[in-house]
Chains A and B, each alone.
Chain A
Amino acid sequence: MSMINYASREINCKIVYYGPGLGGKTTNLEHIYGKVQPDTRGKLISLATETERTLFFDFLPVDLGTIRGFKTRFHLYTVPGQVYYNASRKLILKGVDGIVFVGDSQIERMEANQEAMQNLYDNMAEYGYDLTKMPFVIQYNKRDLPNAAPIRDLQTALNPGWEVSDAAKMRVTPDPYHAGENLIEQLPSGEWIERAQYFESVAFTGEGVFDTLKAVSKSVLKSLA
């Protein structure tokens, strides 16, 4: 739920990084924290266990620039990935404006990815949010690992697309980040489908981290426009 504060001339939006445990959600935030100018970001708050596993959430506020005289402030949150923290995970989703799903590319984490994606849909539905109708980006992390699954397999498992019901959206929309691929297209069966935008990343080195952040925040601002 974005908030526009006319008194301080700020637009505040909430973005949540979701995904399986040890997938790299916190690493995404740590990289952003390390790279942006100190005067455009706040403190990185981590509610973590002694072994640095996220217990409740990580939080980082960043300013991404000014539009029409209003400062755009994005509040970035991560959720705890471990399955048994679902109660706290759900709390963080409250009032979310945009979602980044950080998937773990390793073949052996495929099931954990799918479980987390299902959990995301379920938790969103409990709040009455429809993930297919809001800013949503998928990041396939750990692309540098030798056991990383091919992108095509990850896309099939985690981003197969949802049916487009709005006739106005039924036109081929190319993916601006992947030449030759489409975000919205018609299947041979005649059905129109839309997929979430995806990015490949190595959050540890920062590769793909800002592309993901830019894509989701742009999409959030456009959803308000």
Chain B
Amino acid sequence: MPVGAASWSFTEDDFAALTQALERFLTDANARCALLVDRTGQLVATVGEKPSFDPTAFATLTAADFSANDQLAKLIGETDFQSLFHQGEKESMYLADIARRVILVVLFDNRTTLGLVRLKMRQTVIELTQLFDQVFSRAAGSAAAPNILAGADDEIDKLFQ
């Protein structure tokens, strides 16, 4: 596989585990919705209330937001910002880094408080970090998920006829 095209994948079991952790967090923090976005801007999962906006566009902008802020952190002498908070009049969002590869975004309104969201998020971040560490170490190791595109050259050719 060429450099720069290193893939990662997660299974349905991973998905179930992270959904469970996030659902518990949303209940505890009384937050509306949580999204997981990878650092390249791809949406990994959405849990909680179904967002009314385009989640793909949201994921891209989230990753860009985090990347831009990482660079700002470097300029002021920090390695990165572990979390970001955007406050709106009714809706706010809190973003946290997971294993340096994924971003957890939590949307909440004035039914809860920033303090409670932050408090409950700490444990969730630890749980998710462990989960994603496993996902990524599996992708890097020999036990990588089977390559579903192996030998699919003909099918790929047909797609572009």
Which residues of A approach B to under 8 Å, CB–CB? 1-7, 11-12, 14, 42-43, 45, 47, 56-57, 59, 61, 64-65, 67-68, 70, 72, 75, 87-88, 91-92, 94-97, 124, 127-130, 133-135, 214, 217-218, 220-225
Contacts and interface: CB of A to CB of B under 8 A. Distances in A.
B156 A225 contact: yes
B149 interface: yes
Contact of A94 (B1, B9, B39, B148): B39
14 contacts: A6-B15, A43-B57, A45-B57, A59-B57, A68-B149, A75-B42, A87-B71, A92-B64, A128-B4, A130-B3, A130-B4, A135-B5, A217-B160, A221-B159
B57 A70 contact: no
B115 interface: no
Contacts of A47: 64
B12 A224 contact: no
B52 interface: no
A99 B114 CA distance: 41
Interface in B94-150: 145, 147-150
Contacts of B6: 1
A75 B41 contact: yes
Nearest to B15: A7
B: contact size bracket: 35 or more
B150 to A, nearest CB: 6
A97 B4 CA distance: 6
B156 A56 contact: no
B93 interface: no
B54 interface: yes
A7 B11 CA distance: 7
Given A65-B159, A67-B159, A225-B151, A3 B8 contact: yes
A6 B12 contact: yes
A222 B68 contact: no
Nearest to A12: B42
B155 interface: yes
B3 A133 contact: yes
A32 B110 CA distance: 40
A220 B4 contact: no
Given A91-B71, A94-B39, 12 more contacts: A1-B6, A6-B10, A6-B11, A43-B57, A59-B41, A75-B42, A94-B67, A133-B2, A133-B3, A133-B4, A220-B5, A221-B156
B56 interface: yes
